[in-house]
A and B are shown apart, each in its own frame.
Chain A
Amino acid sequence: MTQRTANGIVLANLTKDYGTGQLAVDAISLDIAPGEFMTFLGPSGSGKTTTLNMIAGFEEVSSGSVLIADRDVSAQPAHERNLGMVFQSYALFPHLTVTQNIAFPLVERRVPKAEIAERVAEALRLVHLDEYGARYPRELSGGQQQRVALARAVVFRPRALLLDEPLGALDRKLRASLQLEIRALHRDLGLTCVFVTHDQEEALFLSDRIAVFNDGKIEQVGTPAELYDTPETLFVARFLGDSNVFPGRRDADGFVWGDEHWAAAPSGPDRGYLVVRPERLAVHDSLDSVPSGRNAVAATVTSRVFLGTHHRLDLRFPDGSGGTAVSPLGGGTELPSEGRGIAVSWDPDSQRVVA
């Protein structure tokens, strides 16, 4: 399927004010490159869907602007923006067949009949639903309906594709298979995609870059690896993957947490949180067993859970706070049992200090 040049989307100080006192979207600026798969990730109420709706034109912009291919579309009505949209509830027209649904945007654009038939057939092939043209949406499963929605959203060669938690209504296995389909679609069509989700695994899997939303602001934008390995805020550290969090402050030599004094890189905030991923923790019998050059802390194992691919150890630190360590099978060390006092250590390079 030939594709027009994909368009980039720029958000400039985009704000949405519902007049409730708190801004739903607070001066967000973001540059989405043409052909990029950008995910808006965040908890409910973080403003990600509202931002998407402003891009689509379903919400009015309070201040700031939305630019598509360098043109300001903030005041343009939704039906003129030429953006494909996929909804969580599929939003297929129940009174039209699959073919009629997909043909809808083409009919609206007065595409000649023969060409419509051809392009609809092509779209159905793209989502592997070739024989389903004459069915009605209610006769299809959830996954099939979403694929029809996808076909409908791309058949008219939109400038970009917007997806609002499209897989939220599907069960785990279906979600996984559709994630693959979406990724394939993105690759084949080269479309700019903006994908909204609260599921961090999904975001990590699909995205070129992720924008993490919190309370109407973007906490951090980056590739999945960047966000995972080098989170810049506590929120991002916590939202993406698990973290062990030690609040404290810097001094001349490193990081102070309670009685502990750990090595830390000189740069970074004065007061903050030291975060370490669970998989970076090594388990020792006691602090004495910890080799030099590593930061360490004593801990008690509060529970030990077998999760198939690994063990998870829930820990309690001396100050009462909790943490997690994971221990893959095949690891040499003997696994501590519940209630055991142990020590965990990590390479200072694998820690981050965030504000």
Chain B
Amino acid sequence: MSATSQISPVRGAQHTGGTATGPRAHGALLLVLPALTVIAIAFVFPLAQSVVRSFNDPTLGVQNYTALLHDGVTATVILRTLRVAALVTIVTLLLAYPYAYAMTKAGPTGRAIMLALTLLPFWTSLLARNFAWMLLLQDGGPVQQVSAFFGKDLVLLGTQTGVTIAMSQVLLPYMILPLYSSMQTIDPRLLTAARGLGARPLAAFLKVYLPLSRPGVVAGVLLVFVLSLGFYVTPALIGSPQQSLVAQLLSSRTRELVDFGGAGALGTVVLVIAMSILIVISRVGRGASTVSSAAAAPTSGGRRSRMGWGDRIPAILVGSILLAPALLVIPMSFSAGTTFQFPPDDLSLRWYESFFTSPRWQHALQNSITIGVLVMIVATTLGTAAAFALDRIHGRRVSGAINTALSLPLAVPNIVIAVSIYILFLRWGLSGTMLGFVLAHTVLAIPFVLVAVSATLSGYDRRLTQAGASLGATPFATFRRVTLPLILPGVLSGAVFAFVTSFDEVVVAIFLKSPRVTTLPALMYDSVTLEIDPTIGAASSIVIIATSIVVLIPQLIQIHRTRKRVAS
């Protein structure tokens, strides 16, 4: 998934008991240095450059900003973007709330399914899902056919409505996860108590449950709103330039107008807006729960009241919404025709053949895998080292600051990151190179690894390390025999996050690609915008299935292990 914004930084692991100061703390700083360096070079520096450039390209002054104010377009686009973002946030909230609530009431199997439905789209190709929406909303697509049945001719492709709908579906998981995470902590007996005190069900819900779920609501709203602000792929594919959102404006200013100063200015404006909203809503929300815990699979709650039809219906409805687009792409890939007609008239395997025999597609696939593996190795190493360092560092201020610094890529709109990296890498000759891709993707992946490993480390008892030492094991032996086996699941899940983040990354790839070096998502993007190539259908299906398997395998192993343990 290209962009996620987890807003509240993970707090460094708590440790009881004294930790050594002196050399060990210095060692800790050393551990976190590589990660900080990469973030500094490939993220902070490009952003800073962008801001600087907005003030001195082509000449020193604030012309770029005044130009933005007076061109009659920027203000319109920004307002339009804010409007769409607000709409998307409301829609996702209305859909996600009952779904998340139903999840808390479901039994273990039901919950596992609902969670899988939430997580799977989260990890399957963003591009594939948007492609599915193009199929759905186009002239002659299912939506139009159904609406024609009712007498209206609804072609939503190229409209703001279409963009809003598609974005809502794509961002739905980001609302569900924080909501669910927060709802899990609410004791359902509170509702019973309220009713025992004489409140009617609706009143009990409004007065007791809703306020208690507030941290989750705030976190979800924050996440979805800020993500919507910087969203590029969906408006670019589903929308039209006449209804540009700010990300499209930023892109055209960079790639079509080659106005790097103006792009810097617009990017800075977007950044400031995003940060302000972040701060304002955080303050209002007063301690929104950490979203990070939502990313990890929740342990089975066990508490459940029965799931009535009032819960089942939204669950099924929203579940279908989550699943549908992915399902659409797969039959589409078997179409024999050269267009994107759905349902396909004739079936054939030609696009799969095309995918596996076309040098272009295979090259792109290889690149994506190579880059993905490299990013996985680098990001996991750097991120794990950083997580260890943060765990060791005594001062809460210092570790908090470092944590925020390393998590920044999550809070900055992806399009702003992509544009500033692109402009800087052009100058450094890194644009269109594997090294450039690896650097950029590593920056995006490190926060995920950090979250995954930190979460595991926070559950790791530091005393175990001391115990190992007291039993005569050298630090390395202790790490190998005690620490590593216990944190391995966290490290591995971080590695998977890193790989998928890189493999599926679209926006930066669109900017950094060159005819020689392109990634699978970038080629997929081209094949819908540039030269229509129905191979994208086959590519999408393959990516969806492959990533699903990669993500599901750890879950299945987990289930198998739990079964084994219970049986013994």
Name A residues whose Cβ lies closer than 8 Å to a Cβ of B. Answer: 18-19, 49-50, 53, 56-60, 77-80, 82-85, 87, 89, 91-95, 104-105, 108-109, 152-153, 156, 162
A223 to nearest B CB, angstroms?
28
A157 to nearest B CB, angstroms?
11
**Interface size counted on chain B using CB atoms at 8 A:** 24
Nearest B residue (CB) for A105: B471
Q: How distant is the Cα of A326 from the Cα of B18 in the complex, in angstroms?
A: 41
Q: How distant is the Cα of A310 from the Cα of B34 in the complex, in angstroms?
A: 67
Judge whether A91 and B18 touch: CB under 8 Å. Answer: no
Q: How distant is the Cα of A19 from the Cα of B25 in the complex, in angstroms?
A: 15
What are 27 A-B contacts defined by CB distance under 8 Å?
A18-B21, A19-B21, A53-B17, A56-B466, A57-B469, A58-B20, A59-B18, A60-B20, A78-B470, A82-B472, A85-B467, A85-B471, A91-B463, A92-B467, A93-B467, A93-B486, A94-B486, A104-B481, A105-B471, A105-B473, A108-B471, A108-B472, A108-B473, A108-B477, A153-B470, A156-B471, A156-B472
A150 to nearest B CB, angstroms?
13
Judge whether B21 and A91 touch: CB under 8 Å. Answer: no
A216 to nearest B CB, angstroms?
13
Judge whether A91 and B464 touch: CB under 8 Å. Answer: yes
Chain A residues within an 8 Å CB radius of B474: 79
Question: For window 419-475 of chain B, which residues contact chain A by CB distance below 8 Å?
Answer: 461, 463-464, 466-475
Chain A residues within an 8 Å CB radius of B472: 79-80, 82, 105, 108-109, 156
Q: Does B482 contact A (CB under 8 A)?
A: yes
Chain A residues within an 8 Å CB radius of B470: 56, 78-79, 83-85, 153, 162
Chain A residues within an 8 Å CB radius of B486: 93-95
Q: How distant is the Cα of A50 from the Cα of B18 in the complex, in angstroms?
A: 8
Chain A residues within an 8 Å CB radius of B196: none
Name B residues whose Cβ lies closer than 8 Å to a Cβ of A. Answer: 17-18, 20-22, 461, 463-464, 466-475, 477-478, 481-482, 485-486
Q: How distant is the Cα of A87 from the Cα of B513 in the complex, in angstroms?
A: 56
A108 to nearest B CB, angstroms?
5
Nearest B residue (CB) for A79: B469
Judge whether A91 and B461 touch: CB under 8 Å. Answer: yes
Chain A residues within an 8 Å CB radius of B481: 104
- State which of B18, B21, B466 has its C-beta within 8 Å of the C-beta of A78: B466
Judge whether B22 and A60 touch: CB under 8 Å. Answer: yes
Q: How distant is the Cα of A79 from the Cα of B479 in the complex, in angstroms?
A: 13
Chain B residues within an 8 Å CB radius of A91: 461, 463-464, 466-467
Centre residue among B467, B471, B486 by max chain A CB count within 10 A: B471
Nearest B residue (CB) for A93: B482
Judge whether A53 and B18 touch: CB under 8 Å. Answer: yes
Nearest B residue (CB) for A88: B463
Nearest A residue (CB) for B475: A79
Chain B residues within an 8 Å CB radius of A162: 470
Chain B residues within an 8 Å CB radius of A60: 20-22
Judge whether B469 and A87 touch: CB under 8 Å. Answer: no
B18 to nearest A CB, angstroms?
5
A58 and B469 in contact, given A91-B461, A95-B486, A108-B477 (Cβ under 8 angstroms) = yes
Chain A residues within an 8 Å CB radius of B22: 60
Chain B residues within an 8 Å CB radius of A57: 469
Nearest B residue (CB) for A80: B472
A104 and B466 in contact, given A58-B20, A59-B20 (Cβ under 8 angstroms) = no
Chain A residues within an 8 Å CB radius of B20: 58-60
B16 to nearest A CB, angstroms?
9
A89 and B471 in contact, given A58-B20, A60-B20 (Cβ under 8 angstroms) = no
Nearest A residue (CB) for B467: A91
Nearest A residue (CB) for B471: A105
Judge whether B21 and A93 touch: CB under 8 Å. Answer: no
Chain A residues within an 8 Å CB radius of B21: 18-19, 60
